Amino acid sequence: MPDHIAHLRLVSIPVADVDRAKAFYVDVLGFEERFDGPFGEGMRWVELAPPGGQASIALVTWFDQMPPGSVTGLVLDTPDAHGAFEALSERGVEFTGEVREDPWGTSASFVDPDGNGWVLMQVPAAA
């Protein structure tokens, strides 16, 4: 079978206020801005990514079928789940519980200002 798909490029994140969401992802989580500009009439394209990340996110307000806060289960890799939990908690990130230790990794879940759900995941060293 030919390799038609190379990698995940972008995930749309539905938000109510693009500026508020951008401030959270850039100033709190440390994402980098890849683009911020007009995207058709009355729309704005804001694309952000973790430093060095291959995939990015787009902060969207124009999808009726994606109300703000409707995306969950997005996973971010971290080399140190406990350290990330502490550092991001100090920055005001709202975690939904404590750090979990599971056979598949160490994780902590949080939500962005709109309620979109994310998981910080540290894979086991043997993985």
How do residues 55-112 score in pLDDT, each as one tens digit?
999 999 999 999 999 999 999 999 999 999 999 999 999 999 999 999 999 999 999 9
- For tokens 């995207």, name the residue: 39
CB-CB neighbours of 74 under 10 Å: 13
Entry pTM: 0.93
Domains delineated in the chain: 9-62 (3.10.180.10), 71-127 (3.10.180.10)
Planar angle of CA 106, 107, 110, nearest 5 degrees:
170
Q: Please state, in angstroms and rounded to a whole number, the distance separating the CA atoms of residues 88 and 119.
A: 12
Closest CA to 59 of 11, 95, 111: 11
Top-confidence residue, 101 or 6: 101
Return phi, psi of residue 50, to 5°.
-60, 150
